[in-house]
Amino acid sequence: MVKLAAAERLPVVARGMGSGLAAGSIPMPEGSLVISLTRMNRILEIDTQNATVLTEAGVITATLQAEVEKIGLFYPPDPSSIKHSTIGGNIACNAGGPRCLKYGVTGDYVLGLTVVLADGSILKTGGKPIKDVTGYDLKGLFTGSEGTLGLITEALLRLVAKPQFARTALAEFDSLADASKTVNAILSAGIVPATLELMDQTAIVCIEEAMKLGLNTDVEATLLIETDGSDEQTVLQEAATAAQICEQQGARSVKVAQTPGERNNLWKARRSISPALARKAPNKLGEDITVPRSAIPEVVQRIREISENYGLPIVIFGHAGDGNLHPNVLFDKRDPEQWAKVEKMVAEIFAVSLAVGGTLSGEHGVGLLKRPYLEQALGPVSLQLQKQIKQALDPLNILNPGKMFPV
């Protein structure tokens, strides 16, 4: 099909589940050929000895995780959209998620790829060997390429042993600033929880209104902390130390989940933030900046100032342990004045991130949304090199044209 498209110079857009948050799989221009990978949904091999799984690109992330966990293995990358995104889409966006603080992002698990190139030829790169420096790292090049360099059809992924124990806690803070500082305090103490997630008050209120999980809505922020591992004592000890640090940093309370049901509720809360925000305003624009962890308190403060200056709410949540924050501007797009403000607010949020040495996107990618800011983030030399790579791999510019690069 891609060969035909190349012959006709027809734009080709790879599509997984369409859950991307940067509008990457929206076909542009009209008349593009959209190739849905969702029927390539077979898990082809689980190799227990080498701890790998060979999968087609359209497999849903949660399905793959459940399959490998049945035999004691573990695929850690866990975007909050695990039930609604594909492995191919995860690789194309180099997806992260709550557990990536301890375990790394999708790209850290990609051992090999099969990719349909722009001329329709098929590239097989990588394999089961853990070490491989034979030539350039092409799997690294395609990971995070957002469908602009090739269509990923199969992936060989690394697995690890499933952690046997986990302890999940919710720390409640009367001050968002204290919660932000606590992230660094925990990590500086040498504890690396699997998860260290920040939610501000608006996020908590929206979740509670939508899900009725019994969350306290009068707190200014919470941290969701999960420690895990194969030694129960270590897991418990790390959880206790993290709780102690939260209290020292001003937490009002730390509630540890005592049953699988309580743990599930905490996770249900975290995973439902995005949909729950829809109750607050007709529209939201969710960003994905990542900053050095030490800068989180300052960045959180500056985002609040932007919100106050423009008079529109910004909800702050995200994978704070990674420095990855999702400031979501809430607004009504039918009001042109509000939309004009949102564009300025987003530009200011990006400027804040770049000023502290951060980046535009930690996991959602550039897609359509962040194209205008790419040069500011990368600088002219890197941008030019990236354009040359695109030109070399897709000289007719038929693969997801109009994405990633400023037009």
Ligand X SMILES: Cc1cc2nc3c(=O)[nH]c(=O)nc-3n(C[C@H](O)[C@H](O)[C@H](O)COP(=O)(O)OP(=O)(O)OC[C@H]3O[C@@H](n4cnc5c(N)ncnc54)[C@H](O)[C@@H]3O)c2cc1C
Q: Which two tokens stand for residue 401?
A: 């044209």
Question: CB under 6 A: which stretch of 2-10, 44-52, 123-131, 363-371 binds ligand X?
Answer: 363-371
Is 361 one of the binding residues for ligand X (CB under 6 A)?
no
Position among 32, 55, 85, 265 found at the interface with ligand X (CB under 6 A)? 85
CB of 305 to ligand X, least distance (A): 26
Q: Which residue has the tokens 């060989």?
A: 156
Distance between CA atoms of residues 83 and 10, nearest Å: 31
The site for ligand X, by CB under 6 A, has a size of 35
Q: Dihedrals φ, ψ of 404, to 5°? A: 70, -55
Q: Which residue has the tokens 């999980």?
A: 213
Is 249 one of the binding residues for ligand X (CB under 6 A)?
no
Query: Of 112, 117, 107, 114, which is closest to residue 144 (Cα–Cα)?
Result: 107
State which of positions 27-56 bind ligand X (CB under 6 A).
37
Q: In the complex with ligand X, which residue's Cβ is closer, 50 or 272?
A: 272
Cβ atoms of residues 171 and 211 within 8 Å = no
Q: In the complex with ligand X, which residue's Cβ is closer, 222 or 290?
A: 290
Q: Which two tokens stand for residue 241?
A: 């130390």
Is 79 one of the binding residues for ligand X (CB under 6 A)?
yes
CB of 63 to ligand X, least distance (A): 12
State which of positions 86-145 bind ligand X (CB under 6 A).
86, 88-90, 92-93, 95-97
Partners of residue 278 on adjacent β-strands: none
Question: CB under 6 A: which stretch of 85-93, 171-179, 332-340, 344-352 binds ligand X?
Answer: 85-93
Cβ atoms of residues 242 and 194 within 8 Å = no
Q: In the complex with ligand X, which residue's Cβ is closer, 145 or 182?
A: 145
State which of positions 305-334 bind ligand X (CB under 6 A).
none
Position among 14, 46, 179, 314 found at the interface with ligand X (CB under 6 A)? 14
Query: 162: exposed, middle or buried (C-beta count within 10 Å: 0-12, 13-18, 19+)?
Result: middle
State which of positions 183-202 bind ligand X (CB under 6 A).
none
Q: Which residue has the tokens 């996770």?
A: 267
Is 81 one of the binding residues for ligand X (CB under 6 A)?
yes
Strand ranges inside 16-98, DSSP E:
33-36, 43-47, 52-56, 73-74
The CA-atom distances, in angstroms, between 288 and each of 41, 291, 316 are 29, 10, 10
Question: CB under 6 A: which stretch of 13-21, 258-266, 293-301, 381-389 binds ligand X?
Answer: 13-21
Secondary structure of 381-393 as H, E, C letters? HHHHHHHHHHHHH
Position among 12, 19, 293, 314 found at the interface with ligand X (CB under 6 A)? 19
Is 146 one of the binding residues for ligand X (CB under 6 A)?
yes
Distance between CA atoms of residues 277 and 286, nearest Å: 10
Q: How many residues does the chain have?
A: 407
Q: In the complex with ligand X, which residue's Cβ is closer, 297 or 318?
A: 318
Q: In the complex with ligand X, which residue's Cβ is closer, 142 or 350?
A: 142
Question: CB under 6 A: which stretch of 17-25, 176-184, 224-232, 388-396 binds ligand X?
Answer: 17-25
Question: CB under 6 A: which stretch of 81-89, 120-128, 172-180, 203-211 binds ligand X?
Answer: 81-89
Distance between CA atoms of residues 196 and 223, nearest Å: 6
Please give the angle made by the CA atoms of 17, 18 and 23, to the nearest 5 degrees: 160
Distance between CA atoms of residues 262 and 266, nearest Å: 6
The pairing of beta strand 33-36 with beta strand 12-15 = parallel
Q: In the complex with ligand X, which residue's Cβ is closer, 89 or 327?
A: 89
CB of 127 to ligand X, least distance (A): 19
Residues that bind ligand X (CB under 6 A): 13-21, 24-25, 37, 57, 79-81, 85-86, 88-90, 92-93, 95-97, 146-147, 151-152, 274, 363-364, 367, 400
